[in-house]
Structure 1
Amino acid sequence: MKPLLLAIGLTMATSAALADDLVQYTTDESYADVIFGLENAIVDQGLVIDATSHVGDMLERTRQDVGSDITIFAHADVYSFCSAALSRKVMEADPMNIRFCPYDIFVAQMPDQDDQTIIGYRGFPDGPMKEVEALLDTIVRSAIGLD
């Protein structure tokens, strides 16, 4: 009986962890419109974009160099930023929350789905980081007009 309970417990823990890994929204807005909305939503929160990683461009540029003929994204960028006040709050609660900083939001479009854009972020563990997750969700929803 105990091994069965352990297996059920591990299955439930794995499902919960997987559910926290990714939060994403799909919209029929153009990629350019979602990017524009995201940049404005970040700035509207009083935040500054620290970096934009052009992941899609990098993967396409290096595709043949690594021996692939697959185009993964038509477009894909990751926006990184931080909130000094919120970061201080979550790191005062647990200094190891540094591992989550800066905060990232991705925007992607698949090559065969130019009528859909995906925007999202990674989920955070229960506790103080849920406040960061709420901020990211507010920004993402604002970017695509769900606020």
Structure 2
Amino acid sequence: MKHFLLAGALLGAASAVPAQDMVRYTTDQSFDDVVFGLESAIVDAGLRVDDISHVGDMLERTRADVGSDVVLFAHAKVFSFCSATLSRKVMEADPMNIVFCPYDIFVAELPGAPDQTHIGYRQFPEGPMQEVQALLDTIVKEAIAE
């Protein structure tokens, strides 16, 4: 069952983002299916994935090194990409919108919950950045065929 949530911790973020500032969808599709859907949706939007951060692998690989026994994710990745056209538009409105580039979408599966995959992104402020948020929401919904 797919449903929309505005809650939870931002998974794999480079900076702290309050939970209420995140858009997250949860689906019963497998992690691999959601990743495939996301990559396809980004390409179908005429964009290119610039980077894939393997957040889950990194956290698991370093878990013992930092003295933790907590497994945070079964799988977790963050996909980074940008739109030259849209980025130029929002940065012409305010050059400090550079802080939001590139755009990131996470996909995560929590341990013990193989039938639930989470996909989402951080919310953007009102104004020109809402066009970017609409793009990310379209991509996420296409990724999970919602």
Does the alignment reach a TM-score above 0.5? yes
Structure with the higher fraction of residues in helix conformation: 1
Distance in 2 between residues matched to 1:20 and 1:84, nearest whole Å: 28
AA at the equivalent of 1:78: V
Structure 2: gaps spanning 5 or more residues: 1-16
Corresponding residue pairs, total = 130
Please give the TM-score of this superposition, normalised by the length of structure 2.
Answer: 0.87
Q: Quote the offset at 1:112 in angstroms.
A: 1.3
Please tell me whether the aligned partners of residues 20 and 124 of structure 1 are also in contact (alpha carbons under 8 angstroms).
no
Residues 80-117 of structure 1 show CA distances to partners (whole Å, capped at 9, x for unaligned) of 00000000000000000000000000000000111100
AA at the equivalent of 1:133: Q
Q: Quote the offset at 1:19 in angstroms.
A: 7.1
User: Could you tell me the percent identity over the aligned residues?
Assistant: 72
Distance in 1 between residues matched to 2:105 and 2:144, nearest whole Å: 13
What does 1:18-97 align with in structure 2 at a 5 Å threshold? Answer: 21-97=21-97
Structure 1 runs of 4+ aligned residues shifted over 6 Å read none
AA at the equivalent of 2:138: T
Please tell me whether the aligned partners of residues 49 and 80 of structure 1 are also in contact (alpha carbons under 8 angstroms).
yes
- Let me know the Cα RMSD of the aligned residues: 1.2
Distance in 1 between residues matched to 2:58 and 2:19, nearest whole Å: 28
Please tell me whether the aligned partners of residues 20 and 125 of structure 1 are also in contact (alpha carbons under 8 angstroms).
no
Please tell me whether the aligned partners of residues 20 and 122 of structure 1 are also in contact (alpha carbons under 8 angstroms).
no
Please give the TM-score of this superposition, normalised by the length of structure 1.
Answer: 0.86
Q: Which structure has the larger Rg over C-alpha atoms?
A: 1
Q: Quote the offset at 1:39 in angstroms.
A: 0.1
Q: Quote the offset at 1:20 in angstroms.
A: 5.5
Distance in 2 between residues matched to 1:68 and 1:77, nearest whole Å: 20
